[in-house]
């Protein structure tokens, strides 16, 4: 579809068409994968807009245009991984700058903050942003950035994006990691965020065959700065990965709806099971921040966390017994995954901090996929039976 015909079109239409006009020469309806690293110039400095693929690549441009449209942003940048996307945002900072971050986040993001950027002279403060007012105790004239995951990984706390932004002085940017909801269920820029980050490895790609990331900026001066940094740092996505995620975005709305439907089924089953102590899913009315979830998201996603009765022995027996779910890190793919954050995805978070967050030996995280719901429930039931010898 032509750009002008896409104005005022709905999300599903944009997901399929944005940035992807048919090829002018061949009429090819699918965007070609431009693997070329360089582009021929007719005279020094005279070219089609493409000179070298680190700076810009036609397949990546099509994908980035689609990402920016879906998130409601000024411009998007496709990066090599979610961690590369986070790094790009942090590369804007300089020695002495301070960051306020939510106390619960992906272990790899925490590691990047504490073991890489802290050593470059950037200071990080971690607070429970479910009460945004708690930022006040650490906010200073050096604060440049607030980093929010919502829902957080893995305890699924909800943070009020609009409220956090309201409390920030001018010039302090708010970046929201939107990985768990995808652009379909949550649009942080519309609630006042300045930047959005995705691990596109997750729901955005959804087929567990790409590691990728994205940053979407709300305004031109941020976009210009990020374009300079992406080209200079060079942690960009390749053409083939760009093609794969762009292809996956076409089915994002239908996938997210089914992830959610299955997740409601699984969370209901877990809530009624005698061997489960606690179920955390943003769509459950007993979620402590259910009102925020309802206010700022248009769905609740496909990730569920829960606490089993018993200890590590039972948890391991349960995780070893699943047959439809796969025991693996990651989330957001068509296949259902299960994992133990304490040992797997959040091992780099200090034990004491995990304890404070309630990530104990019996804490399990599910990414509910698109298999038949009854098969998923039957699998969890038989694995619980085995673990507890019911």
Q: Which residues bind ligand P1T (CB under 6 A)?
A: 81-83, 106, 108-109, 149, 153, 177, 179, 199, 201, 211, 213, 329-331, 345
* Spatial separation of the C-alpha atoms in residues 76 and 226, rounded to whole Å: 9
- Nearest distance, CB of residue 297 and ligand P1T, angstroms: 15
- Nearest distance, CB of residue 367 and ligand P1T, angstroms: 8
* Spatial separation of the C-alpha atoms in residues 15 and 11, rounded to whole Å: 6
Q: From the candidates 9, 50, 54, 373, which is the catalytic residue?
A: 54
- Nearest distance, CB of residue 328 and ligand P1T, angstroms: 8
Q: From the candidates 106, 110, 184, 243, which is the catalytic residue?
A: 106
Q: Is residue 125 within a helix (H) or strand (E), and if so which, with residue range?
A: strand 123-127
Q: From the candidates 177, 194, 241, 379, which is the catalytic residue?
A: 177
Cβ distance to ligand P1T smaller for residue 93 or 211: 211
Query: Is 106 part of the annotated catalytic residue set?
Result: yes
* Spatial separation of the C-alpha atoms in residues 276 and 211, rounded to whole Å: 33
DSSP state of 118: G
Among the residues of 167-289, which ranges form H helices?
182-185, 220-233, 239-249, 252-271
Residues sharing a CB contact under 8 Å with residue 200, sequence separation 6 or more, in sequence order: 78, 82, 210, 212, 213, 214, 245
- Nearest distance, CB of residue 307 and ligand P1T, angstroms: 18
Cβ distance to ligand P1T smaller for residue 130 or 179: 179
Q: Pairing mode, if any, of strands 195-199 and 213-217?
A: antiparallel
Cβ distance to ligand P1T smaller for residue 139 or 357: 357
Query: Is 160 part of the annotated catalytic residue set?
Result: no
Could you tell me the CA-to-CA distances from 284 to 72, 104, 193, 263, 304 in Å, in that order? 28, 20, 26, 10, 10
Query: Is 54 part of the annotated catalytic residue set?
Result: yes
**Tokens for 215?**
């940053």
- Nearest distance, CB of residue 274 and ligand P1T, angstroms: 28
- In a 3-state reduction of DSSP, which class is residue 327? strand
| Most distant CA atoms of the chain, gap in Å | 76
- Nearest distance, CB of residue 36 and ligand P1T, angstroms: 26
**Tokens for 184?**
């379909």
- Nearest distance, CB of residue 345 and ligand P1T, angstroms: 4
* Spatial separation of the C-alpha atoms in residues 354 and 212, rounded to whole Å: 27
Query: Is 247 part of the annotated catalytic residue set?
Result: no
Cβ distance to ligand P1T smaller for residue 20 or 173: 173
Could you tell me the CA-to-CA distances from 124 to 72, 113, 171 in Å, in that order? 29, 7, 18
Map tokens 């089609």 to a residue: 48
Cβ distance to ligand P1T smaller for residue 17 or 346: 346
* Spatial separation of the C-alpha atoms in residues 199 and 85, rounded to whole Å: 8
* Spatial separation of the C-alpha atoms in residues 322 and 126, rounded to whole Å: 35
| Residues marked as catalytic | 54, 106, 177, 202
């Amino acid at each position: 579809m032509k750009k002008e015909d896409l104005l005022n079109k709905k999300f599903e239409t944009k997901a399929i068409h944005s940035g992807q006009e048919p090829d002018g020469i061949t009429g090819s309806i699918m965007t070609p994968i431009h693997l070329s690293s360089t582009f021929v110039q007719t005279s020094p400095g005279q070219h089609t807009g493409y000179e070298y693929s680190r700076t810009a690549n036609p397949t990546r441009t099509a994908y980035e245009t689609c990402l920016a449209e879906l998130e409601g942003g000024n411009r998007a940048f496709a990066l090599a991984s979610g961690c590369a996307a986070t790094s790009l945002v942090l590369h804007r900072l300089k020695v002495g700058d301070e960051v306020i971050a939510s106390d619960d986040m992906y272990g790899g993001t925490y590691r990047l903050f504490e073991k890489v950027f802290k050593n470059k002279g950037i200071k990080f403060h971690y607070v429970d942003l479910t009460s945004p007012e708690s930022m006040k105790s650490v906010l200073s004239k050096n604060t440049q950035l607030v980093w929010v995951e919502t829902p957080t990984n893995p305890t699924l706390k909800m943070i009020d994006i609009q409220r956090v932004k309201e409390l920030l002085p001018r010039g302090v940017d708010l970046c929201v990691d939107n990985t768990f909801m995808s652009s379909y269920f949550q649009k942080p820029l519309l609630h006042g965020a300045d930047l959005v980050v995705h691990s596109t490895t997750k729901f955005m790609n959804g087929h567990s065959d790409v590691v990728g990331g994205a940053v979407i900026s709300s305004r031109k001066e941020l976009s210009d700065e990020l374009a300079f940094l992406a080209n200079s740092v060079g942690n960009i996505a390749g053409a083939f990965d760009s093609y794969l995620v762009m292809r996956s975005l076409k089915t994002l709305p239908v996938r997210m709806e089914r992830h959610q439907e299955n997740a409601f089924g699984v969370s209901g089953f877990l809530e009624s099971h005698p061997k489960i102590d606690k179920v955390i899913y943003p769509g459950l009315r007993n979620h402590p921040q259910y009102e925020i979830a309802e206010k700022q998201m248009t769905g609740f996603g496909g990730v569920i966390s829960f606490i089993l009765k018993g200890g590590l022995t039972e948890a391991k027996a349960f995780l070893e017994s699943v047959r439809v779910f796969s025991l693996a890190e990651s989330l957001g793919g068509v296949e259902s995954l299960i994992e133990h954050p304490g040992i797997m995805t959040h091992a780099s978070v200090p034990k004491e901090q995990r304890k404070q967050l309630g990530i104990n030996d019996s804490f399990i995280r599910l990414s509910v996929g698109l298999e038949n719901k009854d098969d998923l429930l039957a699998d969890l039931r038989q694995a619980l039976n085995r673990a507890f010898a019911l």
